[in-house]
Amino acid sequence: MSHSSMWGSISGIIRRDLLLAMRRWSDAAMSLFFLVIVVSLFPLGVGPEPAVLRTIAPGVLWVAALLTCLLSLARVFTPDYLDGVLEQMVLVPQPLSLLVLGKVLAHWVISGFPVVLLSPLLGLQFGLEGEALGVLVLSLLLGTPTLSMIGAIGAALVLGVRGSGLLVALLVLPLYVPVLIFGAGAVTSSVAGIGGEANLSLLGACLVLSLFLAPWATAAALRIALE
Amino acid sequence: MIWSKYSAPQVFYPLAGRLIPWFAAVAVLLMIVGLYMGFFVAPTDFQQGESYRIIFVHVPAAWMSMFLYVVMAIWAGVGMGLNARLSFMMAQAIAPTGAMFTFLALLTGAMWGKPTWGAWWVWDARLTSELILLFQYAGVMLLRTSIDDARRADRSSAVFALVGVVNVPIIYYSVQWWNTLHQGASVSMATGSKMAATMLMAMLIMTIAFWLYSIAVILARVRCVMVERESLPTWDEKPAAMSEAVEAR
């Protein structure tokens, strides 16, 4: 297959999914509000001491980002599964893993990238400032695409299965552990003054690995679900 | 000898039935020997006293928990590659035993941690990754039970098991680095480097006993899976009933 048609199929899928998401913009807005509410609950539960908040900020923001990604996973494949578009995607000559890559990238633009954009604001709420805030944004920028890639595997596995909402959480959350550790670790070490470069590099490594392997596993899971 | 003939459940079923008593008997025997050596013969540890003796159960259980996950993933991979029913059945049969050993390792770890570290649970790298391994076993089993179609259940849980096997080492190292960032190594396991010969022997015997136990239990469970899936009467006992059932289908 030629280079241009490869990009054509990916960008076609991305354009279509973004258009659909814009027509139903309230879905994306809902997960953002969820993020803001979850993050705002922690100071209410833990207490408003700035030192405590600054300590828990990386973990809280990262866990909230994780949950937001998790909640939006049902939207990656389910609508296409229900109206039969997914079956056509399996049948077209373009490799399914490429189309999956397009869908996952669109999912990240819709539900991951807004989290990255919103994170400095949430970080300020927790008293993060300066370099730590920058590292938070950078870690989310590197980490949230990985969350979407791994999440897509889970979403494909539970497609059309009863109780899929809880099941996908059970499958995907353990797989998210390394990203959580490296992401929150980058911010924590930046707050501690030892710099977050090592953790950011590891996040980048996770992203490359998942970009390489996850579309393939997701495509396999989709084929199983549709046969 | 053609080994592939045993990939047919009808042929494997009676073979497994003949093997189970042998594996089970040797497993029980070795477990008695290993526990006796561990609890009565092995010398008392000069640092940890008697409480260290739980390692004769704990360490083999932890080894088995990780080893069985890999074996399960290999069977799942073979099943995906060769489209063999028996491989998926083996993967299905291994999961509960692996989860049991993971739980046993966590439980005995907590029992050892209380007198030694003064806490039932610490967020040690080993403990944490073992806990996540338990979650992954749970995921494999729950994914299988939530899908009604047996073929899809097999293949979906196989994909998840394979994804998990890539993830387990990443989780292990990430937790280890996370742990060193947050707290210094609270207890080093390296104190046992000059382990007494009887201790090592008891531990190895227990490991072999757990292996044989796993084989016996997994073979017994795979027989149950076969009877359940093929909805046939128990094969080796009533050959006539089986051929009737096959004809009826």
Q: Which of these, B225, B231, B228, lies nearest to B248 by C-alpha position?
A: B231
CA distance B145 to B149: 10
Q: Domain containing A32: what range? A: 3-226
Average confidence (pLDDT) over A54-80: 91
Q: How far apart are CA B225 and CA B192, in angstroms?
A: 42
- From the centroid of its chain, how far is CA B209? 12
Would the pLDDT of B195 be above 80?
Answer: no
Closest-CA residue of A relative to B148 is: A161
Q: Which residues have a Cβ under 8 Å from the Cβ of B76 and sit 6 or more positions away?
A: B87, B88, B91, B157, B158, B159, B161, B162
pTM of the complete model beyond 0.90: no
H-type alpha helices, chain A: 3-23, 25-46, 50-71, 74-83, 85-91, 96-107, 113-125, 131-157, 164-192, 197-226
pLDDT of residue B110: 86
In angstroms, the separation between the Cα of residue B66 and the nearest Cα of chain A is: 16
Nearest to A185 among B152, B159, B181 (CB): B181
Non-local CB neighbours of B191 within 8 Å, separated by 6+ positions: B47
Interface contacts A/B by beta carbons within 8 Å:
71
Indicate yes or no: CB of A170 within 8 angstroms of CB of B164: no
**Predicted-complex ipTM score:** 0.87
Mind listing the pLDDT tens digit for each residue in B22-46? 999 999 999 999 888 888 887 777 6
Contact A182 B138 (CB under 8 A): no
Which chain A residues are closer than 8 Å to B159 by Cβ?
A: 153, 157, 217, 220-221, 224
Our count of domains for chain A comes to 1
Place of tokens 């890559």: A101
Taking only the tens place, the pLDDT of each residue in A150-189 is 999 999 999 988 888 889 999 999 999 889 989 998 888 8
**Interface contact flag, A170 B166, Cβ < 8 Å:** no
In a mutational test of the A interface, the residue from B152, B173, B182 whose CB has the highest number of chain A CBs within 10 Å is B152
Which of B132, B143, B163 is facing A177, going by the closest CB pair? B132
Q: Which residues of A touch B175 (CB under 8 A)?
A: 177, 181
Taking the C-alpha atoms of residue A64 and residue A114, their distance in angstroms, rounded to an integer, is 13
Pick from A170, A171, A180, A226 the residue to mutate for testing the B interface (most B CBs within 10 Å).
Answer: A171
Residue pLDDT, tens place only, A111-164? 999 999 999 999 998 888 888 899 999 999 999 999 999 999 999 999 988 888
A 10 A CB-CB count for B245 gives: 15
Chain A residue closest in CA terms to B128: A177
Q: At what angle do helices A131-157 and A74-83 cross, to 10 degrees?
A: 30
Give the count of beta carbons closer than 10 Å to the beta carbon of residue A203. Answer: 27
User: Is A161 within 8 Å of B147 when comparing Cβ atoms?
Assistant: yes
Residues in chain B within 8 Å Cβ distance of A160: none
* Residues of chain B positioned with their CB less than 8 A from the CB of A162: 146
